[in-house]
Amino acid sequence: MQTQYYLELLGTGFFAISGALAANDKAQPDWFGASFIGFITAIGGGSLRDIILGSHPLVWISDINFVYAIIAGVILASIFFKALIKLRRTFFLFDTLGIAMFTIVGAEKAMSLNVNPVIAAIMGMFSAVMGGVIRDVLTNEIPIIFKKEVYATACLAGAAIYLTLDYLGLERNTNFLLSALIIIIIRIIAVKKNLSLPKFTKSE
Amino acid sequence: MQTQYYLELLGTGFFAISGALAANDKAQPDWFGASFIGFITAIGGGSLRDIILGSHPLVWISDINFVYAIIAGVILASIFFKALIKLRRTFFLFDTLGIAMFTIVGAEKAMSLNVNPVIAAIMGMFSAVMGGVIRDVLTNEIPIIFKKEVYATACLAGAAIYLTLDYLGLERNTNFLLSALIIIIIRIIAVKKNLSLPKFTKSE
Amino acid sequence: MQTQYYLELLGTGFFAISGALAANDKAQPDWFGASFIGFITAIGGGSLRDIILGSHPLVWISDINFVYAIIAGVILASIFFKALIKLRRTFFLFDTLGIAMFTIVGAEKAMSLNVNPVIAAIMGMFSAVMGGVIRDVLTNEIPIIFKKEVYATACLAGAAIYLTLDYLGLERNTNFLLSALIIIIIRIIAVKKNLSLPKFTKSE
Q: Which residues of C touch A61 (CB under 8 A)?
A: 52-53, 115-116, 119
CB contact at 8 A, C183 and C157: yes
Give me the mean pLDDT over the C161-165 stretch: 97
Read off the amino acid at residue B110: A
Give me the mean pLDDT over the C107-136 stretch: 95
> What's the pLDDT tens digit per position in A95-109?
888 899 999 999 999
- Comparing CA positions, the residue from B105, B132, B117 lying closest to residue B9 is B105
Q: What is the pLDDT of residue B202?
A: 56
Backbone angles phi and psi of B30, in degrees to 5: -80, 180
**Res B79 pLDDT > 90:** no
Minimum Cα–Cα distance from C36: chain B residue: B146
Q: Chain B residues with CB-CB distance to C under 8 A?
A: 51-54, 115-116, 118-119, 122, 133, 137, 140-143, 145-148, 150, 152-153, 196-201, 203-204
**Res A74 pLDDT > 80:** yes
Q: Per-domain residue ranges for chain C?
A: 2-192
CB contact at 8 A, B66 and B6: no
Q: What is the pLDDT of residue A1?
A: 63
Q: How far is A102 from chain C (nearest CA, A)?
A: 19
Separation CA C122–CA C49 (nearest Å): 9
Q: What is the pLDDT of residue B4?
A: 83
Q: What is the pLDDT of residue A204?
A: 43
> What's the Cα-to-Cα distance from C130 to each of C10, C51, C127, C136, rounded to whole Å?
18, 13, 6, 10
Q: Is the peptide bond before B57 cis (omega within 30 degrees of 0)?
A: yes
Give me the mean pLDDT over the B196-203 stretch: 67
**pLDDT, chain B, mean:** 89
Q: What is the pLDDT of residue B12?
A: 94
Separation CA A139–CA A23 (nearest Å): 7
Pairwise pLDDT comparison (B66 vs A31), residue with the higher score: B66
**Res B25 pLDDT > 80:** no
Reported confidence tier of residue C176, pLDDT bands at 50, 70, 90 = very high
**Res B204 pLDDT > 60:** no
> What's the pLDDT tens digit per position in A90-139?
777 878 888 999 999 999 999 999 999 999 999 999 999 999 999 999 98
- Comparing CA positions, the residue from C70, C103, C69 lying closest to residue C177 is C103
Partner-chain contact C118 A20, CB within 8 Å: no
Q: What is the pLDDT of residue C24?
A: 79
Mutation test of the interface with chain C: which of A25, A26, A28, A30, choosing the one with the most C Cβ atoms within 10 A? A30
Backbone angles phi and psi of A30, in degrees to 5: -80, -175
Q: Using CB atoms, list chains with 3+ pairs below 8 Å to chain C.
A: A, B
DSSP bridge pairs for C30: B199
Reported confidence tier of residue A202, pLDDT bands at 50, 70, 90 = low
> What's the pLDDT tens digit per position in B109-163?
999 999 999 999 999 999 999 999 999 999 888 888 887 667 799 999 999 999 9
Separation CA A24–CA A31 (nearest Å): 10
Backbone angles phi and psi of A116, in degrees to 5: -60, 140
**Res C69 pLDDT > 90:** yes
Give me the mean pLDDT over the A53-76 stretch: 95
Partner-chain contact C146 A33, CB within 8 Å: yes
CB contact at 8 A, C33 and B146: yes
A85-89, B95-99, B122-126, C134-138: range with lowest mean pLDDT: A85-89
